[in-house]
Structure 1
């Protein structure tokens, strides 16, 4: 059933790709984004890919109750997908209070505004980082949470708050999606990952090296207990993540309360695996230098995605080579990102 969906952080990397999926499925989309790490141009490109524009784009901070009230008053919002947050592990170690203020404070402000305006469906952007430095892989939703950095702790805190609110507000339905490491870009090359400043994720760093904007990759540690000593992650194509959010919206009324689901491929790749794959796909050399471990990082995070496959039939469709190919296409077509 078509809905009017508020997407916070809808101009960002995952948010913009999710807007495409929502529009393609017939939903009306309202975006709230402060553009602290995104560009309004992304929403223009969303409309071009989807063949129709979003309903409205509001510039504002998700912590601002006046801005939230204005959005909920102006539009008949049926559900919310909440992406707006800071997301860099290393940065979170340096500025932890900012992460708690934005990530936790933004979520509590949003859920409060939703409650006041009678909106009771929320898809929450969580993270595999809540699992922390685990010794057991793949990770199921029942694996214990043990966050090792402020970013992960902020996501875990939000999950606990939302679960508690669901206990006291029985009409509230929350789907928390713990996705692993989104990468890639839209296959058209129109949408991709274009962070402000130095990329906090590895894929845009690789593409910026390949296009000549950066000199070399810093590999944070080669002494982890993994086959090649570098960290292993479950990289998942951003289009698969977007499709997962669209599926969540379709299934959010299946049960009351809160449900947590992993979104991942179930296949891990090390940093050096990713570098090799990107070099093969792009035909460009990627110089790298091994440095010390980054505070807050862990050795290995790989999903067990069987629960979401059983519940919804959702599975990741793209492999690592496709992620590299699409990310490189976006960077080639947009050497300086969304900047003119």
Structure 2
């Protein structure tokens, strides 16, 4: 079976994707600098899959190390590239940190494979759409001016990939534009490990429920949505992980129609913040303390994706619902409480 390089493979989405790759019979090698993850996740992956993935710790921004690594691993046929900084707020405060890491790591990887055929799956984001003019948003929707350096790195990275694939038939690139990944593996052995105060809704919910945080603030209840709170398309992280295997299969089976393709990855359904809070309470039996606050600058009112293209061309569909997302996220939070990560 093919050998797949997973960059950032000990991170949240990366670790779940490694498990699904191993379950599908792939040989996996991880490169991660552990800047935003824990080495203990390797053992967690091994407990789930029964096989410990090969692991190398170094920074993909180091061109010499990247070239040396790829030259010694000529049997790698595919890359799933997660390794990137991803906190919107931090990117506004430290733009150069984001531009340096997110661009250099990508360029070094592409350069190291120059002249060699490779399947490349890129971790992109629905942030490239901004506030869409039409919902649900399709892959044909215009890419709008980014509202943060993080969002800008995703837009420019896609441009880099388009142009690279256009001049070399050796690069087969699929960019997956994620909506909002949440939840954890059913084993509760891997999940999201945010550093500091969570910037995303669900980990803040679980940390608040377990006593790590105070009341949850719902930023605005006067939007043009069913209950006034913002709407997002939440997708279970395991479903998202499986989309990467589906993308690889499309590449390996020669089904790509051009060298660069884009797919939305979500459920195709929007949920409000208040609906997510209610789903957590109903699925776990835990009552949440929350309050309504003012709107937060930069928040998009509502966005969810049209995922029919992924369903048709990747033969993939999200299967897990909001209840599964909340239950698994809560189980993971309880696992963290009883087990230390460093």
- TM-score (norm. length: structure 1): 0.95
Shift of 1:336: 6.5
Please, which of 69, 82, 89 is the counterpart of residue 71 of structure 1?
A: 69
Give the number of equivalent residue pairs.
337
Aligned-partner Cα distance in 1 for 2:57–2:315 = 35
Structure 2: give runs of 5+ residues left out of the alignment.
none
Greater Cα offset, 204-213 or 281-290? 281-290
Is the 1:125–1:176 Cα contact (8 Å) retained in structure 2? yes
How far, CA to CA, are the matches of 2:92 and 2:298 in structure 1? Answer: 7
The question of 1:294 aligning with 2:296 is answered: yes
Structure 1 residues 119 and 61: alpha-carbon distance in aligned structure 2, compared to 1, 3 A threshold? farther
Cα 1:223–1:107 change in 2 (3 A) is farther
Distance 1:196 1:336, change over 3 A: farther
Preserved contact between residue 93 and residue 295 of structure 1 (Cα < 8 Å):
no
Aligned to 1:110: 109
In the alignment, what sits opposite 2:83?
84
1: distance between equivalents of 2:220 and 2:9?
33
Deviations 1:115-151 (A, max 9, x none): 26x2521000000111001231101100111132222
Q: Deviations over 1:282-317 (max 9, x none)?
A: 222222233333333211110100001111221000
**C-alpha distance in 2, partners of 1:96/1:248?**
31
Determine the C-alpha separation between the residues in 2 that align with 1:136 and 1:52: 45
**d(CA) in 1 for partners of 2:339 and 2:133?**
38
Q: Is the 8 A contact 1:77 1:119 kept in 2?
A: no
**Number of the residue aligned with 1:31:** 30
1:314 corresponds, among 306, 313, 316, to 316
**Contact 2:130–2:147 (Cα < 8 Å) also in 1:** yes
Matches within 5 A, 1:35-74: 35-54=34-53, 56-74=54-72
Question: Do 1:90 and 1:296's aligned partners in 2 also have CA atoms closer than 8 Å?
Answer: no
Query: Which deviates further from its counterpart, 285-294 or 124-133?
Result: 285-294
Q: 1:304 aligns with which of 306, 311, 319?
A: 306
**SS of alignment partner, residue 222 of structure 1:** coil
Q: In the aligned structure 1, how far is the partner of 2:182 from the partner of 2:335?
A: 17
Greater than 4 Å deviation, 4+ residue runs: none
Structure 1 runs not aligned, ≥5 long: none
Q: Distance in 2 between matches of 1:104 and 1:241?
A: 23
Q: 1:44 to 1:169 in 2, by over 3 A?
A: same
C-alpha distance in 1, partners of 2:216/2:109? 37
Q: Secondary structure at 1:126's aligned position in 2?
A: strand
Query: How far, CA to CA, are the matches of 1:257 and 1:329 in structure 2?
Result: 40
Instruction: Provide, for residues 61-120 of structure 1, a one-character-per-residue CA deviation record: whole Å limited to 9, x for no partner.
Output: 12111221232133221110000111122222222222222222221222112226x252
Residues of 2 paired with 1:74 and 1:212: CA distance?
A: 47
Equivalent residue, structure 1, for 2:207: 208
Task: Call closer, same or farther: CA 1:84–1:239 in 2, change over 3 Å.
Answer: same
Aligned to 1:254: 255
Give the CA deviation at 1:337.
Answer: 6.4
How far, CA to CA, are the matches of 1:185 and 1:249 in structure 2? 22
* Distance in 1 between residues matched to 2:221 and 2:92, nearest whole Å: 21
**Matching residue of 1:330:** 332
Aligned to 2:163: 164
- Where does residue 186 of structure 1 map in the other structure? 185
Counterpart contact for 1:123–1:176, Cα < 8 Å:
yes
Give the conservation status (yes or no) of the 8 Å contact 1:232–1:300.
yes
Q: Distance in 1 between matches of 2:140 and 2:339?
A: 39
